[in-house]
């Protein structure tokens, strides 16, 4: 899902209470002093290819035109940037004091902490707020107040190549469910000459995501139930020790997983060179195009299937600067109407974030391959994007957490240093 790999612990009761206050506020005028007409500036990320038929620019412009037809006093000026560019461009706009009215990107917490965003309760009526799936609504909170509106989501499952399983004498209809079964399968795949038995992307593109999936399989996570960092917990140290000793050292992964990016392994999987790896819906689309015979299963855990999986979301938010609160709220409510929201997620093979759109996907047989991902969404673990320190912490994790799994590495030392840096960053951001 492009950059959706970035971000979260990351309920609804708190949202509802805030919403009651928000309903009163919604009666105010959002058009600005002396003006009944509003132009909203929208900056969004491109989930397709810029300039191509699948560019998100086409979706947003069509949606903006339909909205203005219903609301002639509100025009929406659409700008779409690639995922490679949008972070810097949006940050520059905000830093220069010229933020858009609405943005759709992969993070929001810093701007919420700086008081630059409207609360969701100031934008949407209670019924619209209640439509968001609870884990995603909670993932949009900073200090228990929701500022981020989840836009699209994805979860992770285990992928495996059925042809390579048969070649290795493994049951092509039975994915490994525990770490021990995964190790045994990887050993068999290596013996059968498979180039990469298990794809372990601990390079800077996706190290934080792959790491969290493994942590979850052993009862670990990045933060505890109250949001304190637990990067060097005993469970997490044990997880990386297992990876080092049972997959990396025996040569069941690529030689340098700490330098291997996810997309490289996705590409290798679609060429038939990887036996097993964790993936999201985009990998499914890529494998289908290459006619790879693959199966999926739950993430393996230390003693059996992992209880949870990684969930990832991208976000929408509304900036206060131009005072267009009411107009922003109207447009955002329109964005998340079932027909409009479902049109986007179904086009790009992503997961909906509202109850009604999720129910629609469950009934849509054309989207049957997404059902296993959708089934996991309610119980998924999200990055702690609501922590203001997370953006800097995840940047550090991407660069160095892979060192915890290398042959001859010291997981305890690596994770403890990451814990120290995360706590220092958290203290600096919250003091």
- Digit-coded pLDDT (tens) for 22-36: 333 333 333 444 346
Token couple for 47: 């989930």
Q: Across the strands, what pairs with 142?
A: 145
At residue 50, the pLDDT reads 67
| Residue 15 confidence class, pLDDT cut points 50, 70, 90 | very low
- pLDDT of 188 higher than 90: yes
Domain ranges of the chain: 12-155+312-382, 157-308+389-430
Average of per-residue pLDDT across 214-224: 97
The percentage of residues in the chain with a pLDDT greater than 70, rounded to a whole number, is 91
Instruction: Give dist(CA 248, CA 319) in Å, integer.
Output: 46
**49-53, 249-253, 322-326 — which is least confidently predicted?**
49-53
At residue 3, the pLDDT reads 41
Helix, strand, coil shares of the chain as percentages rounded to 5?
Answer: 50, 15, 35
At residue 49, the pLDDT reads 72
At residue 366, the pLDDT reads 94
Q: Does an H or E element contain 198, and which? A: strand 196-199
Q: Which CATH superfamily is domain 157-308+389-430 in?
A: Periplasmic binding protein-like II (3.40.190.10)
Instruction: Give dist(CA 108, CA 149) in Å, integer.
Output: 9
At residue 174, the pLDDT reads 98
- pLDDT of 203 higher than 60: yes
Q: Which CATH superfamily is domain 12-155+312-382 in?
A: Periplasmic binding protein-like II (3.40.190.10)
- pLDDT of 14 higher than 70: no
At residue 429, the pLDDT reads 84
3-state secondary structure of 91: helix
Sign of CA dihedral 231, 232, 238, 241: positive
Instruction: Give dist(CA 95, CA 384) in Å, integer.
Output: 24
What letter would DSSP give residue 247? I
Instruction: Give dist(CA 279, CA 155) in Å, integer.
Output: 8
Sheet strands (E) in 324-385: 381-382
Q: Across the strands, what pairs with 69?
A: none
Instruction: Give dist(CA 148, CA 93) in Å, integer.
Output: 18
Q: Does an H or E element contain 316, and which? A: strand 310-318
Establish how many alpha carbons lie within 13 A of residue 32's alpha carbon, considering only the half-sphere containing its beta carbon: 14
Q: Dump pLDDT digits (tens) for 239-259.
A: 999 999 999 999 999 999 999
3-state secondary structure of 95: helix
Neighbours of 304 (CB within 10 A): 14
Whole-angstrom CA distances from 176 to 296, 370, 401, 405 are 10, 20, 25, 21
Fold match between domain 12-155+312-382 and domain 157-308+389-430: yes
Distance, CA of 254 to chain centre: 25
Mean pLDDT of the chain: 90
Q: Dump pLDDT digits (tens) for 107-136.
A: 899 999 999 999 999 999 999 999 999 989
Burial class, 238, CB count within 10 angstroms (exposed 0-12 / middle 13-18 / buried 19+) = middle
- pLDDT of 177 higher than 60: yes
| Residues 6+ positions from 14 with CB-CB distance below 8 Å | 141, 144, 145, 146
């Amino acid at each position: 899902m492009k950059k959706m790999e970035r971000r979260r612990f990351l309920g609804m009761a708190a949202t509802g209470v805030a919403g009651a206050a928000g309903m009163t506020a919604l009666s105010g005028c959002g058009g600005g002093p002396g003006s009944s007409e509003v132009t909203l500036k929208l900056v969004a990320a491109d989930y397709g290819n810029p300039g191509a038929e699948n560019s998100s620019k086409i979706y947003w412009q069509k949606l903006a035109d339909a909205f203005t037809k219903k609301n002639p006093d509100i025009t929406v000026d659409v700008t779409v940037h690639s995922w490679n560019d949008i972070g810097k461009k949006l940050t520059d706009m905000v830093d220069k004091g010229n933020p858009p009215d609405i943005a759709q990107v992969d993070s929001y917490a810093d701007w919420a902490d700086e008081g630059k965003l409207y609360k969701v309760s100031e934008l949407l009526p209670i019924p619209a707020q209640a439509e968001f799936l609870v884990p995603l609504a909670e993932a949009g909170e900073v200090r228990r107040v929701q500022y981020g509106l989840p836009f699209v989501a994805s979860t992770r499952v285990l992928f495996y190549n059925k042809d390579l399983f048969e070649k290795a004498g493994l049951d092509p209809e039975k994915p490994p469910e525990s770490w021990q079964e995964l190790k045994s399968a990887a050993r068999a795949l290596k013996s059968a000459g498979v180039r990469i038995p298990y794809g372990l992307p601990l390079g800077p593109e996706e190290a934080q995501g792959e790491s969290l999936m493994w942590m979850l399989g052993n009862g670990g996570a990045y933060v505890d139930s109250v949001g304190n960092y637990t990067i060097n917990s005993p469970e997490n140290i044990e997880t990386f020790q297992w990876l080092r000793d049972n997959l990396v050292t025996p040569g069941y992964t690529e030689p340098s997983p700490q330098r291997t990016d996810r997309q490289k392994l996705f590409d290798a999987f679609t060429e038939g060179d990887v036996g097993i790896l964790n993936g999201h819906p985009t990998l499914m689309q890529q494998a289908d195009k290459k006619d790879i015979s693959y199966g999926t299963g739950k993430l393996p855990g230390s003693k059996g299937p992992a209880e949870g999986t990684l969930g990832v979301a991208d976000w929408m938010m509304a900036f206060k600067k131009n005072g267009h609160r009411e107009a922003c709220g109207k447009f955002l409510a329109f964005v998340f109407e079932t027909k409009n929201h479902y049109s986007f997620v179904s086009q790009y093979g992503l997961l909906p974030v509202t109850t009604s759109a999720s129910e629609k996907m469950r009934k849509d047989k054309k989207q049957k391959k997404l059902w296993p991902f959708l089934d996991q969404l309610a119980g998924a673990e999200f990055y702690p994007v609501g922590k203001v320190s997370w953006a800097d912490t995840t940047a550090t994790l991407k660069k160095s957490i892979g060192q915890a799994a290398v042959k001859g590495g010291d997981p305890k030392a690596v994770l403890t240093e990451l814990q120290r840096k995360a706590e220092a960053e958290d203290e600096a951001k919250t003091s």
